Amino acid sequence: MRIEHKTPKEIFIPVGAEGIKYSEEKTVPQLFFPATLNGVKGVMAKLPSDYLNGASHIRLETGGDYIYASRPGNDYVLDPISNRKSIAIEPGVFAPVVLGIYSPGSGRIRLFAYALETKAIIPWRTDLFLKLQMLQTLVHEISHSHDKTQRVARGRWRMDQKNKDEAYADRLASDLMGSIVFPCVLSMYRHLYHGKSD
């Protein structure tokens, strides 16, 4: 999860959930989004309206160029589908090293695809974990938007305090996970896990 830092110049106008654009990049079947676009919309519809100020577009995409340039060192693997820098979650299941990003200048939030080898099977517990991880990324990036439009609007104009920004987004995202994301996931995906015990 990353935030692109730019000097804020815009005046943000509340848009509401219905004013946000949603899109999904066409990808090969082996690149997938665990929570789906409908899952993202379901969570967004439950968020407090002031969290949506400054968010203009939620896009699900591969993020290949950004991910490739994002992480120095060698603590990653290249997924076999798109050669993006990734972390192996299960045999044949890969999460990108950057799960999403918020761009303050445009208000766009990008959520990046996971990779799945053709014969790999995702255990149901891992499937649930990936859905929660993707939606946690969403609310983390939304928390950056909330930070920019609420705290910054009241005078905290410096956006170069990265550790403070991340701590604030983590704290808000944690609250949103408990109050909104978990109940949404149970409501939207309970049927997928009914009767599962192993």
The backbone torsions φ and ψ at residue 133, rounded to the nearest 5 degrees and listed phi first, read -65, -45
> DSSP code of 95?
E
Give residue-wise pLDDT tens across range 80-133: 999 999 999 999 999 999 999 998 888 899 999 999 999 999 999 999 999 999
Q: Which residues of the chain have pLDDT under 50?
A: 3, 5-11, 153-157, 159
pLDDT score of 5:
47
In angstroms, the Cα distances linking 109 to 61, 139, 168 are 10, 10, 17
Q: Which two tokens stand for residue 196?
A: 């599962």
pLDDT score of 17:
64
pLDDT score of 109:
94
pTM over 0.85: no
* Segments making up each domain of the chain, as ranges: 2-11+20-190
54 phi-psi bin (left φ>0, alpha ψ -120 to 50, beta other): left
